[in-house]
Structure 1
Amino acid sequence: MAKLTNISHRDEKMLQTLICQRFAVQGKDNFTNMSRYLDANEQTLRVWFDRDVDWRAINGALCELAMSQPPRFAGLDCSFVSKAGDQTYGLAKFWDGSQSKAHKGLEICCLALFDPETGEAYTLDVRQTPAGISDKKLDDPGQYTRMDFYLEALEALPASVTHVAADSFFAKNKAFQAVEKLGKRLVTKLRSDANLRYLATEAEKEACRKENKRGRNLKYAGKADWQNLDEERWQTLQSPEGQGHLKIRTAILNSPNLERNLRVVYVVDTRNGNDWRIASDDLETDPLEIKKIYEGRFQMEYIFRDAKQHSGLTDEQTRKQQRLDFHFNLSLTALNFAKAEMKIYQTTRSVADYARLVKNEWTLNLFKSNFDLNAEFGLNEKTQQKIREIGFIHKSRNIFSP
Structure 2
Amino acid sequence: MSKRFLNWLILTIRTVALIPGKINFTRLSRYGGRTAKTFASNFKTSVDWMKVNTGIARENFGCGDDVAIAIDPSFISKSGRLTYGMGRFWSGVAQRVKRGLEIMAIGAISLSRHTCVMLGAIQSPDFRTLESEQNMLMLDWYIFLVRSKASELLSLTDILVADAFFSKYEFVNETVAMGFRFVGRLRADSYLRYPAIPDPATPRKRGRKKKYGEKVDFSNLDMSVFTSFIYEDSKGVRTQCHTAVVHSRALRRDIRIVVCPVENGGHLLYFSTDTDMRPEKIIGFYRTRFQIEFGIRDAKQFTGLQSQQTRDKDRLDFAFNLSFTALNVCKEVIRKDYPDLSLAQFKRLMFESYLASTIISTYGKSPHLKIIQKINHRLAQLAA
TM-score, normalisation: structure 2 = 0.90
Q: CA deviation at 1:192?
A: 1.9
Deviations 1:315-373 (A, max 9, x none): 01111101100110000010011112222334444221221121122112111211223
Distance 1:291 1:47 in 2: 45
Distance 1:369 1:103, change over 3 A: same
Distance 1:389 1:321 in 2: 42
- More contact order relative to length (CA 8 Å, sep ≥ 6): 2
Alignment of 1:319-330 (within 5 A): 319-330=311-322
SS of the residue aligned with 1:237? strand
Given that 2:111 and 2:288 are in contact with CA atoms closer than 8 Å, whether structure 1 keeps it comes out as no
The partner residue of 1:79 within 71, 74, 80 is: 74
The partner residue of 1:355 within 339, 347, 358 is: 347
Q: CA deviation at 1:68?
A: 5.0
SS of the residue aligned with 2:218? coil
Distance 1:215 1:349, change over 3 A: farther
Verify: 1:42 aligned to 2:14, yes or no.
no
Verify: 1:318 aligned to 2:314, yes or no.
no
SS of the residue aligned with 1:198? strand
Alignment of 1:189-338 (within 5 A): 189-203=185-199, 206-207=200-201, 210=203, 213-240=205-232, 242=235, 244=237, 246-269=239-262, 271-338=263-330
Distance 1:232 1:141 in 2: 44
SS of the residue aligned with 2:231? coil
Match of 1:94 in 2: 89
Deviating more after overlay: 142-151 vs 7-16:
142-151
Match of 1:179 in 2: 175
- Unaligned segments of structure 1, at least 5 residues: 1-6, 396-402
Verify: 1:151 aligned to 2:146, yes or no.
yes
Distance 2:341 2:268 in 1: 32
Distance 1:135 1:263 in 2: 34
Given that 1:162 and 1:184 are in contact with CA atoms closer than 8 Å, whether structure 2 keeps it comes out as yes
Match of 1:399 in 2: none
Given that 2:130 and 2:138 are in contact with CA atoms closer than 8 Å, whether structure 1 keeps it comes out as no
Distance 1:303 1:353, change over 3 A: same
Which 4+ runs in 1 deviate beyond 6 A? 133-136, 140-144
SS of the residue aligned with 2:320? helix
Deviating more after overlay: 253-262 vs 33-42:
33-42
TM-score, normalisation: structure 1 = 0.86
The partner residue of 1:108 within 98, 103, 110 is: 103
SS of the residue aligned with 1:238? strand
Deviations 1:216-236 (A, max 9, x none): 112211212334434443221
Q: CA deviation at 1:102?
A: 1.6
Distance 1:207 1:280, change over 3 A: farther
Verify: 1:14 aligned to 2:14, yes or no.
no
Q: CA deviation at 1:258?
A: 1.1
Q: CA deviation at 1:176?
A: 2.1
Distance 1:170 1:377, change over 3 A: same
Quick one: percent identity of the two aligned structures? 30
Higher helix share: 2
Q: CA deviation at 1:383?
A: 4.3
Distance 1:69 1:213, change over 3 A: closer
Distance 2:55 2:256 in 1: 34
- Aligned residue identity for 1:49: F
- Aligned residue identity for 1:194: S
Deviating more after overlay: 127-136 vs 357-366:
127-136
Distance 1:213 1:155 in 2: 49
